[in-house]
Amino acid sequence: MPDNTDLAIVLPAYRPPIDRLSEYIEALDTRLAPGRIHVPFDGVKDADPRIRRLERAGATVSRSPERQGKGAALSGAFDRLATSFDRLLFLDADGSTSVESAAHLAEQVSGSSPTLAIGYRQLPQQAERQTRTGYRRVFSGGYRHLAHAVLGIDARDPQCGAKAMDASVWWQLRPTLRNTGFGWDTELLAIAAAAGIPVSEHPVEWVDQPGTTVRVTDPVRMLGQLFSARRRASKTPPRQPTPASQTPRLRVAGRD
């Protein structure tokens, strides 16, 4: 097993299925043995017994009595963890991404070079493992096209809840990153592209979990967030190129 003591995994949670999340934490800890598994838990009080349940499973937990939003939870967690760990990985707390896929994604970042690795769920050979509702499929595809049109992002699945990066990437992108909600992922990619950070895409084994929802109002809200991301990305200073990264581009695993 690779040494993953330099890896921190973040699972942002709001009203999570505790049994499923606890089992996911235990499986991640067994398979990856990371330096830290951290759960920023929104909408929970200090005395909530669910916190102790997650801690027994092997996670550290920070809590917020109010819902601060996925982006705010991730940014806050990464701010703290990037001072102690070289690699950062975030996964949706519902356990949609398989543990093996999470391990593969973590291996794509070295901790010594500025790299961003993202998962994608659109694989024909995994059709039988994907159980998304028709609305979720339409929403995901439409959002991908909007992200490309508004931001020029070519990622297959910008909203996939599986992304890994070197801590140095986080510190470079952090000053410009402002989104506190579900548009955090796309804003991160837009700023990375503007900064010239190398981005690679990797297939993940992914299964839609019951209880996860996409609201009908989300597309309108996210469209506004895309334009906000474009404004912020336009203000991002480019990374100083190195010989190995003179021409950063999106790289899809299995393709030239």
DSSP line for 70-133 = HHHHHHHHHHHHTTT-SEEEEE-TT--B-HHHHHHHHHT--SSS--EEEEE---GGGGGG----
Q: CB–CB of 152/193 below 8 Å?
A: yes
Tens digit of each residue's pLDDT (9 = 90 or more) over 40-64: 999 998 889 999 999 999 999 999 9
DSSP codes, 121-188? ---GGGGGG----HHHHHHHHHHHHHHHHHH----S-TT-SEEEEEHHHHHHHTTT----STTHHHHH
Please state the rounded mean pLDDT for residues 178-182: 87
Please give the DSSP secondary-structure letter assigned to residue 247. S
Query: Which pLDDT score, from 0 to 100, does residue 223 have?
Result: 57
Tens digit of each residue's pLDDT (9 = 90 or more) over 229-238: 666 666 666 6
d(CA 22, CA 16): 10
More confident residue, 215 or 67: 67
Bridge partners of 238? none
The answer, as to whether pTM is greater than 0.75, is: yes
Task: Delineate the domains of the chain, giving CATH numbers in brackets.
Answer: 7-252 (3.90.550.10)
Q: Which two tokens stand for residue 98?
A: 């398989």
Q: CB–CB of 114/164 below 8 Å?
A: no
Average pLDDT value over all residues in the chain: 81
